[in-house]
Amino acid sequence: MSGTVLTVVAQTSAPAWTPSTLETMRRLESAALRDNYGYEKLAHLTDNIGPRPVGSLQAEAAVDYVAAELRKLGFDVRLEKVRMPRWVRGEDRCELVEYPGQVQGTTQKVVVAALGGLGVATPRDGITAEVLIVSSLAELAALPRDKVAGKIVLFNKRFDRRMAESGFAFDAYDGAVGLRNSGRLEASKAGAAAVLVRSVGGSDARIVHVGATDYENAAHIPAAAITAEDADLIVRLSSQGPVRLRLVLSSDLHEEVDSYNVIADLKGTEHPEQIVIVSGHIDSWDLGTGALDDAAGVAIAMATARLLHEQNLRPRRTIRIVAWMGEERGLLGARSYGKEHAAEMANHFAAIETDSGAGHAMGIYITGDPALATLFQPVAEVLEASGAGILRDLKEPAPDLIPLYFRGVPAFTPLQDTRRYFDYHHTAADTLDKVDPQELRENIAVVAVLSFALGTMNQELPRQQLTLPEFLK
């Protein structure tokens, strides 16, 4: 169906929300802007439980904690099992062992951290080899094999800080992250001994930005990230002459363990079979405590649950709070949910996830039929009172919603100030202090109002027919 036809439908049928429902949204918004529950949950997940990598005791504890808290709010809670390989960081060590101007008897430390989810360690004494710097896969492909064989390949693609600071943080990230994802495989094919990736982030505090690499492909060479400052140092020294590095990595991929998505339902009064998902992901990387990524998203979803409970609001459709597991390891929990619930997708009315921190909220991003933005204008008008009235289309949904989106489910996420997000994301500096309590409340207000709007609206949403990509089947 075309957007034009749907707009006509929207104009001729009953309004999506009655004046009294819109009034309830305003009440919900002002209650959210006074909320302390969300920040308390965020503080517990990060300060008390700590880092939550897949398969860790902390990830398990976080599952139990979120489940227990949502049960207290009267939600019907269950855990849906997903098997996931556990990955444990070992020793991460890197040093410059030969370089122009080296003072005899010394080496220089390079700040390094293994990329996640990869079960390839170096030999115990490490790999010592000359470094080869490339800034793209094309540049690597153009090199003869004997130039690459046995080398430590450094992928040196700069994260564009000015782009991020201008409000295009995800474009800046997308511009650089490809090499972290697929560089290892290509370098391995070309005979490299190991791979280093320049940190994909905006920090200038010499901290490493980690993340996943494409571990599903059999490329058995170790891979790690180094800081932007260390990458620049290696580039400068390499312009003067050959540079040799020693790299020691002992991270290991362990057995598959039982892990869980937390699913908590507030049954709809009229259409209990129709589901509105409100979500964040519970796992994090191991270096920080995953406050921005993504305890904030889980806390926002939990605070939404708490506000509905506190205000005694029972929407017509089921509100389903989900704390996804394994996002950082390739959307493992969300992909499993998409497959397990494939037959019920027509009843998944809409889905929300917050997974880009908790910066100042300015509105709603929508991924789906272009006619959706028109439909949600009345909701934007409610949120405008608190400065969050922008409605924008977003090309790709929040990560855990990808399996739902490709099965036709409209996807929503708060539109936030993300200019500083990649200064901390996936680093040791992703900690509670990076979340401003009032900005967290702004996000809770957007998600709570939007959840209630989706749960109560008197209209169906237009859906898209998309082709399911291979990795989601």
**Which residues are at the interface with Zn ion (CB under 5 A)?**
293-294, 355
Closest to Zn ion by CB, 29 vs 293, is: 293
Q: Which residues contact 99 (CB under 8 A, 6 or more apart)?
A: 108, 237, 240, 241, 242, 243, 244
Cα–Cα distance measured from residue 394 to residue 402, given in angstroms and rounded to the nearest whole number:
12
Phi, psi for residue 226 in degrees, rounded to 5: -120, 165
Cα–Cα distance measured from residue 62 to residue 49, given in angstroms and rounded to the nearest whole number:
7
Burial of 36 per CB tally in 10 Å (0-12, 13-18, 19+):
exposed
Shortest spacing between CB 189 and Zn ion, in angstroms: 29
Closest to Zn ion by CB, 99 vs 170, is: 170
Cα 408 versus chain centre, distance: 21
Shortest spacing between CB 144 and Zn ion, in angstroms: 39
Shortest spacing between CB 231 and Zn ion, in angstroms: 24
Shortest spacing between CB 296 and Zn ion, in angstroms: 9
Closest to Zn ion by CB, 293 vs 369, is: 293
Are 195 and 153 spatial neighbours (Cβ–Cβ below 8 Å)? yes
Torsion of CA 170, 175, 178, 179, to 10 degrees: -130
Helices (H), 19-117: 19-32, 37-43, 57-72
Catalytic residue chosen out of the listed positions 327, 328, 353, 442: 327
Closest to Zn ion by CB, 16 vs 435, is: 435
Tokens of 72: 């207290």
Closest to Zn ion by CB, 99 vs 422, is: 422
DSSP state of 295: I
Instruction: Reduce the DSSP state of residue 293 to 3 states and report it.
Output: helix
Shortest spacing between CB 405 and Zn ion, in angstroms: 16
Closest to Zn ion by CB, 268 vs 359, is: 359
456 HSE (CA, 13 A, CB side): 22
Shortest spacing between CB 282 and Zn ion, in angstroms: 10
Closest to Zn ion by CB, 110 vs 415, is: 415
Q: Which residues contact 271 (CB under 8 A, 6 or more apart)?
A: 316, 317, 318
Shortest spacing between CB 327 and Zn ion, in angstroms: 5
DSSP state of 324: E
The DSSP bridge pattern shows strands 92-98 and 244-249 to be: antiparallel
Closest to Zn ion by CB, 399 vs 408, is: 399
The DSSP bridge pattern shows strands 317-324 and 76-88 to be: unpaired
Shortest spacing between CB 36 and Zn ion, in angstroms: 24
Tokens of 110: 């390079």
Tokens of 214: 């494409």
Cα–Cα distance measured from residue 420 to residue 299, given in angstroms and rounded to the nearest whole number:
20
Cα–Cα distance measured from residue 220 to residue 14, given in angstroms and rounded to the nearest whole number:
60
Q: Which residues contact 388 (CB under 8 A, 6 or more apart)?
A: 361, 362, 363, 364, 414, 415, 442, 445, 446
Closest to Zn ion by CB, 89 vs 425, is: 425
Radius of gyration of the chain (CA): 23
Shortest spacing between CB 414 and Zn ion, in angstroms: 14
Annotated catalytic residue 130? no
DSSP annotation string for 219-278: --S-EEEE-HHHHHHHHHHHTTS--EEEEEE--EEEEEEEEEEEEEEE--SSEEEEEEEE
**Catalytic residue annotation:** 327
